Amino acid sequence: MSEMMTSFFIVFILRQFYAKIRKNILEREQLMKKKLLMLLTLFITLLSITSVKADDKPVKDTYKIASDSLFAPFEFQNSDKQYVGIDVDLLKAIAKTENFKITMDFVGFQTAVDQTQAGHADGMIAGMSITAERKNVFDFSDPYFTANASLAVKKTTTDIKSYKDLKGKTVGVKNGTASQAFIDKNKDKYGYKVKVFDAADTMYQSLNTGSINAFMDDEPVVKYAIIQGQEFATPITPEKIGEYGFAVKKGENPELISMFNAGLKKIKANGQYDKIVAKYMGNDASDDKKVDESTMIGIIKNNWQQLASGLGYTLALTLVSFVLALIVGIIFGLFSVSPSKFLRGFTKVYVDLVRGVPLMVLAIFIFYGIPNLFESITGQPSPLNDFAAGIIALTLNASAYIAEIVRGGVNSVATGQMEASRSLGVPYVKTMQRVILPQAVKITIPSLVNQFIISLKDTTIISAIGLIELLQTGKIIVARNFQSFKVYGLIAIIYLIVILALTIFARRLERNMK
């Protein structure tokens, strides 16, 4: 019995000893797991901190930032022809704070959007509202401005005091803006009609002329217009329509967003942000009022260099593109009268294809469509700039018409002359050189000069891709002084003088060649 009790006692002791050892092992394992988890957490934290710091450093020497050109007080030209505004000053302050370099390209809102998407610009800042749809194609910074929209009417208007008073009236709004989304959403509720504009100056002019009864635009923009002398009133409380953000193409240039956010926090903390906003949102007129642009003489005196630069750009576009179009057009024109059926067919396809596409569509396709295809294939941004794209578009467009002019000129020479020359044993090429073409040139000169004039006018369409030619120069001036009638009248006079000079030259040339 005693042996049995001893055995039970030994077994009990061994079990207790085993349980204690096992408990110690489990506790050590738990402690080890906790230590490993802490180390893993610390590693992940350090990694994230390192990555954030890496993102805060610029990876390019200089970043190209696209922006609007006609959106005072966020971006506009002052009387010294320098672009200023809330967006411009904020971005420059942030770049200085975060120690990265920028160049800004003021090309208009939609062009800035397209350039950023196509990779021509690294980012954009242009009073761009942050929306769910835009987040699908852009990465946005933290909001840098809360956007309100104001409904504006003529100062003398007394019958509009609420949205209900808009019933049966016409309300203007800029295309693609948050204001447009609000106006479209409520048009059935309040019973007004909507008229969409591409630019603020034409919308303001429409209100002044009575073609619309009211318009909605961003509150700072409306306030700035009133400060600059526009006779507007804002009878309804502004609507909060969203927030503005700095944007980059989705998945690209993350360090730009990181640096912008970091810089924005710093300039808000040190008070610089409030100073910049107050500078353009105050109740005092801007420095542009120091220069009188209320008269045509004042506009010319203050802007003649800018207008001359715009005219020079227009003439350069026209001359370069027309010379290239003349070469291409003559080649295809001669192909169209060639004995070869293949060359005639090829020319017909080329002419019909180019003439069948509107010039603006062609320019946009060349500047935005082709670079997008290039980037998707190579993974590299396209080297094509706006001037080269404009030249290509104008060249292709004009060459198709010149080809038809050449074909018409050659066909207008009596066919008997070709037959007579060939019957005398003169080869086809030499017959064209010595007999047909000298006569065809005299016939086509007036039409070619006319085509040159058309190409000169067509340069205004190329401003759609951001080229600052003569008309776009006028728009930039109007965005500052709101003198639409005088500025656009001056632009029309400049075009008239140039085209009249070309017409007189063409008539003299035609008379001398007879």
Helix (H) or strand (E) holding 313, with range, is: helix 296-336
Does the N-terminal peptide bond of residue 73 adopt cis geometry, omega within 30 degrees of 0?
yes
| pLDDT at 288 (0 to 100) | 47
Q: What are phi and psi of 104, to 5 degrees?
A: -110, 135
Residue among 228, 204, 239, 245 nearest 282 (CA):
228
What CATH code is assigned to 145-244? Answer: 3.40.190.10
Superfamily of segment(s) 296-512: MetI-like (1.10.3720.10)
Nearest to 221 by CA among 147, 155, 124: 147
Instruction: Please give the DSSP secondary-structure letter assigned to residue 164.
Output: G
Please tell me the predicted confidence (pLDDT) of residue 285.
46
Q: Which of 136, 368, 397 is nearest to 251 (CA)?
A: 136
Tokens read off for 324: 């290239």
pLDDT at position 36, please?
62
Of the candidates 158, 134, 133, 130, the residue with the CA atom closest to the CA atom of residue 144: 130
Residue 393 is predicted with a pLDDT of 94
pLDDT the model gives residue 12: 55
> Under DSSP, is residue 58 helix (H, G, I), strand (E, B) or coil?
coil
Looking at residue 49, what is its pLDDT? 44
Helix (H), strand (E), coil (C) string for 248-309: EECCCCHHHHHHHHHHHHHHHHCCHHHHHHHHHHCCCCCHHHHCCCCCHHHHHHHHHHHHHH
> Which CATH class for the 63-143+246-278 domain?
alpha beta
Q: For residue range 434-490, what is the model confidence (pLDDT) as tens digits?
A: 777 777 778 888 888 889 999 999 999 888 787 888 988 888 888 777 777 888 899
Q: What is the DSSP letter of 414?
A: -
**Could you tell me whether strands 62-67 and 123-124 are parallel, antiparallel, or unpaired per DSSP bridges?**
parallel
Taking only the tens place, the pLDDT of each residue in 87-103 is 999 999 999 999 999 99
Please determine whether the domains at 63-143+246-278 and 296-512 fall in the same fold group of CATH. Answer: no
Residues of the chain with pLDDT under 70: 1-56, 282-292, 381, 418-419, 422, 433, 513-514
Q: Domain-by-domain residue ranges, the chain?
A: 9-48, 63-143+246-278, 145-244, 296-512
Handedness of CA 357, 362, 368, 370 (dihedral sign): positive
Give the residues across from 150 on adjacent strands.
217
